[in-house]
Structure 1
Amino acid sequence: MSLASSGNDVGSAVQRLRSTTRRKILRLYPVLVLPVLAFALDCLFPLPPAPRYSPIVLAADGSVLHAFLNPTQKWRMKTKLSEITPALQQAIINKEDRYFRYHFGVNPIAIVQAAGRNIFRNGRTTGASTITMQVARLLEPKERTFGNKLLEMLRAVQLEAHYSKPEILQLYLNLVPYGSNIEGVKSAALLYFQQPPDYLSLAQTVTLAIIPNQPRVLVLGKNNERILTERNRWLRQFQQQHLFPDQDIEDAINEPLDAQRHAAPTLAPHLARRLVSRFPGQPIIHSTLRRAPQVKAEDLTKNYVRRLHELGISQAAVLVVNNRTRAVEAYVGSADFQDAAGSGQVDGVRAIRSPGSTLKPFLYALAVDKGIITPKLKLPDVPTNFSGFRPENFDKSCAGEVTVERALTYSLNIPAVRVLADVGVPVFTDKLRDAGFKSVAKAAPRLGLSTILGGCGASLEELTGLYAALADGGNYKPLRNTALVEKKTPTPKSRLSALLVSPAAAFLITDILAQRTRPDLPMGYQNSRHLPKIAWKTGTSYGRRDAWSIGYNQDYTIGVWVGNFSGQGSPALTGADVASPLLFDLFNTLAYNSPNRWAVPPATLDFRLVCAETGLVPGEHCPNQLIDYYLPGTSSARHCEHQKEALVSADSTMAYCRACVPAAGFRRQLFPNPLPEVLAFREAQGLPSTRLPQHNPACSLVRNTDGGAGASLAITSPLDHAEYVLDRKEKQQMLLSCAAGSEVRQVFWYVNDRFLRAASATERVFFRPPSGPVKISCADDHGRNVDIRLQVQEL
């Protein structure tokens, strides 16, 4: 073979190879181009946006508490895959698209059959629409034309590429029409049968399966007889197909059709709106509410407030919290959401109101932890001037001295202010801020001693959370009303868990608040068998505008507010009279069968003997003693000095110090040694009181060298740093009074460092002050001195 012929053979082989390769590429060209083209078309013509659902708020068990219209004013509640029961799927698929699970969105066989029927007029005219094609039409409604039908087919194929079969079926069941503005099986099930789809019977399921084809003709509540006939026809057809057991079919056929349109669920309207606003665009919101407690709480509140209308009281709010989980189980923002005259749409759970006395238990718990008080300690309950602030008790009276537990159970104001002055306002408000009190946190720099009497703002939600912390041994956790989590910045400190007070302090306060011999026990409950075992505290704001009652046991904390959203007060509006009865009714209804468990003293608590007269550790002269709780290493160990031993003459007319006591003719005697303000109060009230006799006038030493320095001297009138405006024409005078120890017999008054007059320790002195700044001084016969300054203006 020549070299030329060999070269020609090689060239031919190369040409044949190129030709073969070109043919193979041409064959693969559609395979390579079509996916790219499909992807490009999918990008150029994206699927219609997801349907806009009706927001629904679910209870903890998954039932619908509240539903809202969607933005297009339709009832279209989202049906989850888990709610599509096998019976519902089988009925829908068998009726609408028997080969749904096998085709790619378009059923070619059904198209050919439908074309034959439509062309030759043989049988019923059909459109051969698959479930996927119906979804495409429902997502993008268009006029029924041949061109639009082709577009539906293309959209159906596109849907099949994007979604699984169960997801397409879910879309279909969410969009199918049921007449009027009702769309989707969940909306239809709730509005016609008042049941979720997965709770429907077979008869009800088939009923919902047949209506979408003729929603304007088969209207539930209007055409029930016609729907019943159509339903049973399809049930017989399903029986022939052996789709369901024969007995189930027979039972479904015999089931009557008693369906009519009902209103959408509207429980917990305030919380529902709050959650929808908090999670915009969320079709399904899971709340922590329990349906039964919510229904009972709403009914009790509405009926209770109806009885209060004649007293000028129009509203109430209730919050029920599970102490173990801090889940809100009932949320009543107002007595009647539809009450426009009473501003029923205002959310009383979140409204900022004056808390009255409801913060006192928390204050006393803080004081226990600081070692300032124990339950049996006695506090002065006398008119007191706290740097210009003169609080009064609710009943305008004073008791002189009261134990801590009585001061709390009787909600006395003066002892509470005294305890707050000892604890410190900043310490108190800082703890409230840790417990999520937002308005207190904002106003903290401006708050003073009046805070404990309601001089700050708080909501029912904040107060109930605070009492839930007491029920949980002082451990604060933020309340939960939903299982959803917001995608926001890290949780602030005020919403984190915190130990506000020790378990020991929480137990002592709980033990005090559980006492039933107290004035705020509701009328009719004194001998009632239905008195729940709870710890509770009431509160009434200034002007009787707000009535509070908050109680708890081991399982639940319930907060109640009663009043008017307008802020109008009522003479009958007190926590004990109008808020506590509702609180007790709620506990008896919601937690009547809860386990009868109660708090037990923690190991950090112990007992000790204290003086019955003061609640302090017994001193040398304390014959009457009783047992009291205390915190070892924390509670004050100050010894009692309620009696003072003095050396007096035989006739008790003269007292001696150790420097001037005679060799004979004297004796030892015990004298009461109360605080000066308590002694002054007793004498002003005409109560029995005993002062030390006059000191030996012949004694040349300073009169307080007898070792009995006594209590401090205090001016009780006028007020320090106050401004007085007097009428010049009426020649008004000013009162001078003081509180001195029992050993003081005489005091000396000075005005602007000039002697005014001498007076007995309990005498009330009147004088006419000069205009301008005035300095008033008081000295006693034991060498003590006190000054105050004030401003006087004459008009």
Structure 2
Amino acid sequence: MVSRKQNEKRIAINNPLLKTIAIRILGCCAGLILFFFLLTLLFPLPQPKLYSTIITDDEGKVIHAFLTADDKWRMKTELGEISPLLQKAIVEKEDKWFYRHPGLNPVAMVRAFFNNLFTGRRTSGASTITMQVARALEPKQRTYANKFIEMFRALQLEMRYSKKEILQLYLNTVPYGGNIEGVKSAAVLYFRKNPDHLSLAEVVALSVIPNRPSSLVIGKTNNDIIVERNRWLKKFEAEGVFPATEIRDAMDEPLTATRLEAPKEVPHLSWKLKSSGNDIQRTWINLNTQWKAEKLVKDYVRTLQFRDIHQAAVMVVDNRNHHVIAYVGSADFADTTDAGQVNGAAAIRQPGSTLKPFLYGKCIDAGLLTPRMVLADAAVNVNGYAPENYDRQLNGYVTMEYALEHSLNIPAVKALRMLGKDAFVEDLSDVHFRQIQKDRRKLGLSLILGGCGATLEELTALFAGLSQEGKYQWPEYTQPGHDPDKKAKAVTQQMLSPAAAFLVNDILSKVNRPDFPLSWTSTEKMPKIAWKTGTSYGRRDAWSIGYNKHFTIGVWVGNFSGKGVPSLSGAEVATPLLFRLFNTIDYDSGKDWFEAPASLSTRSVCTATGLPPGPHCTETVSDWFIPLVSSTQTCQHMQEIAVNPEESISYCRICQPLNGYRKKLYAVIDPDMQAWMQDHHVAYQHIPPHNPDCESVFRGGAPRIVSPSNGGEYLIYRKNPEPLQLVCQTGNEVGKVYWYINDAFYKTASAGNKLFFQPEEGPVKISCTDDKGRNRDIWIRVRMVD
């Protein structure tokens, strides 16, 4: 039998009226849904408001914040900062059904309608958290029509975002009076905390303010806020939202907060990072290290004021992870008299001698030099460029390590010439020296003495690579995913081989250097460091950059105006600050140091040249070298020369007689060193002049004309003309040279003697021929002026 209920159900299903009603209901629902989507296409959700750019330290604490374009403090609260405590307190107070409604709460709406209807005034609202977000994104006057728009926007929000994201939007836009919006802004500006570090009492205190932002103002009406806070805490206790013990502790917690200034730490780096456009820039800055560096810089510059030196900049890199942990762009950001807001760490300045370690390291890797290899620190003229040492003294023969220890200029220029200027420029361009990249076609040999542009950031990053076995890596200013420069920078690059890096480290860490501050010789706890100083042309910039296994610290001292100061130098002014920084940041860190890599070995070399001993070498010394890389050429410093019994004539193989001669050892001395020896009255044995009856033609070794400069233009006064000097350098076997002006014989002179001549206006050809028939021509241009 068919039951009565089944029969009634069958009748209901077959009832055409009920079918019609159901179809119409479904049609209406479908129409409403389609209408909703049509409205969504026509009236899309407004974009979320722009946030304040905030800078955080290595622990996530806000250390600098910027106003939005509409002058609001609106700091973005991230999902991870919405702690369970914050989430629970806000939801329970504002919208306890938040996770169970679709953006609208029908029960609350009906309740609010009847309450307002019977009382004749607004006694309760029905706005959900989602609706409040909609109102914040699109502020409007509170009318019934706008209420429907608000409800429509709430449904749109629920379709696009998750509940967690909607809660995040609410916490980011909730008003706290004045120009403060969002829980994070309130937490930072009132409590100096991030939202996830707020206590229950602080969370509830902040939750009551948005309902009465004009009357509940932290710092002015704290007692009223406590009363309202405790009222809600009691309500939470009655509803069992939080344990009673936590409620009692929260109610007893005092509220002493007041409106604070927005944090303004690490200003130069913060402004640098602000341009990236990210809402949050998470740096690796360690505030304790930053504060120490700032105080040391400020106090140190104060002591330099009487010397007319007003600024300094410092950058500290943790070598263990490449993080920038301190960044000081000037002595005082707030100092307007000395342009304190200029970022000295990012300013392009002349680097002085700071690039020399990398030049010598490159020469080591190219097999051109080893630490004990000898260079001539003697006057040189390269196409009119005549570099001088810092003290304007010449030292004669020096080893490469001595030249680097004493930062000699002339050996560095010669080393750059050996390596090739273009190759070195390319190497620096590869590690992101921006100004050198721009000027690569204009740079000459002077770049190794500071004739180029570089920043403290670039130089500090370069030296940090020496602590990593020559592996360059751009320092990380911000945590992963937030570095605006990282995309343009290579992650790692082998700048020098581990062997070359170790040798440079070994040389730069010696304490018997002339630039070692005397006041630090007795400091027992000073960490061992390697460092290099630099002073730019005109004494405008003083540099000192040091490193060990733990840290790399770059220091610049000078004036942002570019004004030179006679007492400004890297050794005397910048290095003391570098040592103070290391003695504070890395105090008593032990003697942990770099170890020689397996690719290095030692060998005996001739003391005269630094090359493996030749057959006539008598004195040797031990030297580092890189097998299969370093030169294996043997020393040829001493050569056997055939001379007559009186040692007045030398013979070549062609004119050597069958008998009546003997062989004698002579030192082969380059022309520049001969000139140095003559100027410094250093006696040496000349090779006798070649047999005048020999008819052989010698090739190579022609005289080198050092004055005047080839291709140079000379201005000479008509009324009081000054003569030009003729100087050449020759081999020590040359006795006489013959000068020609415009192919006309002028004078004969002994090798090394200086002559003068009065040129005519226009192009002038100058020729010099030695007594072996080797000739050199140059051209100059002379202009007469009145």
TM-score strictly above 0.5? yes
Q: Write the letter of the residue equivalent to 1:75.
A: W
Would you say 1:480 and 2:476 are equivalent positions? yes
Would you say 1:767 and 2:750 are equivalent positions? no
Would you say 1:572 and 2:589 are equivalent positions? no
Shift of 1:475: 2.6
> Deviation string for 1:111-163 (max 9, x for gaps)?
45545654555999333433333333333333334444454444444433443
Task: Note if contact 2:516-2:571 (Cα within 8 Å) is conserved in structure 1.
Answer: yes
Q: Write the letter of the residue equivalent to 2:574.
A: A
State the distance in 2 between where 1:287 and 1:104 align: 39
- Structure 1 partner of 2:739: 749
Q: Write the letter of the residue equivalent to 2:501.
A: A
Aligned partner of 1:46 among 28, 44, 47: 44
- Structure 1 partner of 2:4: none
Q: Write the letter of the residue equivalent to 2:300.
A: Y
State the distance in 1 between where 2:750 and 2:89 align: 100
Shift of 1:502: 2.2
In structure 2, relative to structure 1, the CA distance for the partners of 1:624 and 1:703 (3 Å cut) is farther
- Structure 2 partner of 1:503: 498
Aligned partner of 1:715 among 689, 705, 726: 705
The more displaced of 351-360 and 771-780 is 771-780
State the distance in 1 between where 2:457 and 2:713 align: 40
State the distance in 2 between where 1:695 and 1:264 align: 83
Using the aligned pairs only, state the percent identity: 49
Task: Note if contact 2:689-2:734 (Cα within 8 Å) is conserved in structure 1.
Answer: no
Which residues in structure 2 correspond to 1:10-29 (within 5 Å)?
A: 22=20, 24-29=22-27
State the distance in 1 between where 2:103 and 2:659 align: 122
Task: Note if contact 1:676-1:712 (Cα within 8 Å) is conserved in structure 2.
Answer: no
Shift of 1:198: 0.9
Aligned partner of 1:186 among 184, 187, 200: 184
Aligned partner of 1:353 among 340, 349, 352: 349
Shift of 1:655: 5.4
Aligned partner of 1:134 among 132, 135, 146: 132
SS of the residue aligned with 2:100? coil
Would you say 1:301 and 2:291 are equivalent positions? no
- Structure 2 partner of 1:401: 397
State the distance in 1 between where 2:525 and 2:120 align: 76
> Deviation string for 1:291-313 (max 9, x for gaps)?
33333333333333333333222
State the distance in 1 between where 2:702 and 2:552 align: 44
State the distance in 2 between where 1:111 and 1:428 align: 75
- Structure 2 partner of 1:5: none
Which residues in structure 2 correspond to 1:327-342 (within 5 Å)?
A: 327-342=323-338
Aligned partner of 2:436 among 437, 440, 443: 440
Shift of 1:179: 1.8
- Structure 2 partner of 1:679: 674
Q: Write the letter of the residue equivalent to 2:123.
A: T
SS of the residue aligned with 2:555? strand
Would you say 1:376 and 2:397 are equivalent positions? no
In structure 2, relative to structure 1, the CA distance for the partners of 1:302 and 1:663 (3 Å cut) is same
State the distance in 1 between where 2:713 and 2:160 align: 80
Aligned partner of 1:730 among 720, 724, 735: 720
- Structure 1 partner of 2:217: 219
Shift of 1:412: 1.2
The more displaced of 212-221 and 299-308 is 299-308
Aligned partner of 2:683 among 668, 679, 689: 689
SS of the residue aligned with 1:550? strand
In structure 2, relative to structure 1, the CA distance for the partners of 1:129 and 1:490 (3 Å cut) is closer
Q: Write the letter of the residue equivalent to 1:612.
A: T
SS of the residue aligned with 2:605? strand
In structure 2, relative to structure 1, the CA distance for the partners of 1:112 and 1:61 (3 Å cut) is same
Aligned alpha-carbon RMSD (Å): 3.3
In structure 2, relative to structure 1, the CA distance for the partners of 1:646 and 1:364 (3 Å cut) is same
- Structure 1 partner of 2:519: 524
Which residues in structure 2 correspond to 1:388-467 (within 5 Å)?
A: 388-467=384-463
State the distance in 1 between where 2:638 and 2:549 align: 43
- Structure 2 partner of 1:615: 610
In structure 2, relative to structure 1, the CA distance for the partners of 1:22 and 1:93 (3 Å cut) is closer
Mark the runs of 5 or more structure 2 residues left unpaired by the alignment: 1-10
Q: Write the letter of the residue equivalent to 1:215.
A: P
State the distance in 2 between where 1:498 and 1:792 align: 50
Q: Write the letter of the residue equivalent to 1:741.
A: G
Shift of 1:771: 3.5
SS of the residue aligned with 1:344? coil
Task: Note if contact 1:737-1:764 (Cα within 8 Å) is conserved in structure 2.
Answer: yes
- Structure 1 partner of 2:780: 790
SS of the residue aligned with 1:482? coil
- Structure 1 partner of 2:635: 640
State the distance in 1 between where 2:564 and 2:588 align: 36
State the distance in 2 between where 1:490 and 1:194 align: 30
Task: Note if contact 2:527-2:588 (Cα within 8 Å) is conserved in structure 1.
Answer: no
> Deviation string for 1:187-225 (max 9, x for gaps)?
111111101111122222222122222222221112223
Shift of 1:628: 0.8
Task: Note if contact 1:691-1:743 (Cα within 8 Å) is conserved in structure 2.
Answer: no
Aligned partner of 2:766 among 776, 779, 794: 776
> Deviation string for 1:68-123 (max 9, x for gaps)?
11121111111112212222222222333333333343444444554565455599
> Deviation string for 1:449-481 (max 9, x for gaps)?
112122222222222232233332333333333
State the distance in 1 between where 2:777 and 2:162 align: 88
In structure 2, relative to structure 1, the CA distance for the partners of 1:131 and 1:786 (3 Å cut) is closer
Task: Note if contact 2:103-2:131 (Cα within 8 Å) is conserved in structure 1.
Answer: yes
Task: Note if contact 2:642-2:656 (Cα within 8 Å) is conserved in structure 1.
Answer: no
The more displaced of 407-416 and 39-48 is 39-48
Shift of 1:679: 1.8
Aligned partner of 1:549 among 544, 552, 569: 544
Q: Write the letter of the residue equivalent to 2:631.
A: S
Task: Note if contact 2:687-2:732 (Cα within 8 Å) is conserved in structure 1.
Answer: no
The more displaced of 778-787 and 194-203 is 778-787
Would you say 1:385 and 2:381 are equivalent positions? yes
In structure 2, relative to structure 1, the CA distance for the partners of 1:429 and 1:693 (3 Å cut) is closer
In structure 2, relative to structure 1, the CA distance for the partners of 1:127 and 1:17 (3 Å cut) is closer
Which residues in structure 2 correspond to 1:50-449 (within 5 Å)?
A: 50-115=48-113, 117-118=115-116, 125-278=123-276, 280=277, 282-449=278-445
State the distance in 2 between where 1:338 and 1:160 align: 47
> Deviation string for 1:376-430 (max 9, x for gaps)?
1111111111111111111111111211111112111111111111111111111
Shift of 1:360: 1.4
The more displaced of 407-416 and 137-146 is 137-146
Task: Note if contact 1:646-1:655 (Cα within 8 Å) is conserved in structure 2.
Answer: no
State the distance in 1 between where 2:26 and 2:149 align: 28
SS of the residue aligned with 2:447? helix
Aligned partner of 1:513 among 493, 505, 508: 508
State the distance in 2 between where 1:215 and 1:718 align: 83
Q: Write the letter of the residue equivalent to 1:690.
A: Y
Q: Write the letter of the residue equivalent to 1:747.
A: V
Shift of 1:361: 1.5
Task: Note if contact 1:645-1:671 (Cα within 8 Å) is conserved in structure 2.
Answer: yes
SS of the residue aligned with 1:379? strand
Q: Write the letter of the residue equivalent to 2:309.
A: I
Q: Write the letter of the residue equivalent to 1:789.
A: W
Q: Write the letter of the residue equivalent to 2:186.
A: A
Task: Note if contact 1:118-1:125 (Cα within 8 Å) is conserved in structure 2.
Answer: yes
The more displaced of 327-336 and 560-569 is 327-336
Q: Write the letter of the residue equivalent to 1:788.
A: I
Mark the runs of 5 or more structure 1 residues left unpaired by the alignment: 1-12
Aligned partner of 1:30 among 25, 28, 31: 28
SS of the residue aligned with 2:215? coil
Q: Write the letter of the residue equivalent to 1:463.
A: L
